[in-house]
Amino acid sequence: MVCLETDFLIALIRKDEKAIAKLRKLVENGERLTTTPINAAELFKGAYKSKNIDENLKIVRGILSRLTLLDFNLTASDIYGRISAELEKRGKPIGEMDTLIAPASL
Which residue range(s) make up the domain with 73? Answer: 2-104
Asked whether 83 and 56 are in contact (CB, 8 A), the reply is no
Task: Please give the span between the terminal C-alpha atoms of the chain, in angstroms, as a whole number.
Answer: 10
User: What is the spatial distance between Cα 60 and Cα 66, in angstroms, rounded to a whole number?
Assistant: 10
User: CA separation (Å) from 94 to 30, 43, 63, 100, 102?
Assistant: 31, 19, 26, 10, 11
Instruction: Determine the angle formed by the axes of helices 53-65 and 37-49, rounding to 10 degrees.
Output: 160
Number of domains forming the structure of the chain? 1
CA contacts within 13 A on the Cβ side of 101: 18
Find the CATH number of the domain harbouring 25. 3.40.50.1010
Predicted pLDDT at 98: 79
User: What is the pLDDT tens value at each position of the chain, 106 positions in all?
Assistant: 999 999 999 999 999 999 999 999 999 999 999 999 999 999 999 999 999 999 999 999 999 999 999 988 899 889 989 999 999 999 987 878 778 887 777 6
